[in-house]
Amino acid sequence: MLKLDRRRKYYLVLDCETATLPYAGNLPAEAKKNVAIAKPLIYDLGWKIIDKKGRIYSQKNFLISEIFSVPSVFDTAYYASKRPLYLSMLEKGEIVLTDWKSATAELVEALEAVEGVTAYNAAFDFKRSIPFTELYISYLYSPDFHEWL
């Protein structure tokens, strides 16, 4: 990766993959799809910091343990069949398994170094995925989780 030069402008390109609430796995396909769009849970969070010419200066890729490591949740993901690929990436060090709090702390740090942010599906990622994952995980660690769920 290239070193950041504070005189230049950098941009963060975000990408994430999502699963959804565990009960969605028991629903018919169309209903499952609607729940997944309304209640997305990020299990794969990654980004690149680039310049205006597309040169990559930094790259991060995380598997979120609270989602990826819980089969009843991860199995609701559209790409659930790619679990062996993710395990291979983990083994090779191409992705890091970590908790949501640690991954988002690194994301906030990366955001401080850039001029702008974009995503492949920005409206979904910023308006749905990140806020709902944050809400879900805040309840996951609370005594009220099952009542909330």
Per DSSP, 20 falls in state: -
Cα 4 to Cα 50: distance, rounded to the nearest angstrom: 10
CB 76 within 8 Å of CB 37? no
Q: Where are the beta strands (DSSP E) in the chain?
A: 11-19, 41-50, 56-64, 96-98, 116-119
Is the whole-model pTM more than 0.85? yes
Least confident range from 25-34, 99-108, 137-146: namely 25-34
Task: List, for residues 45-74, the tens digit of each pLDDT value.
Answer: 999 999 999 999 999 999 999 999 999 999
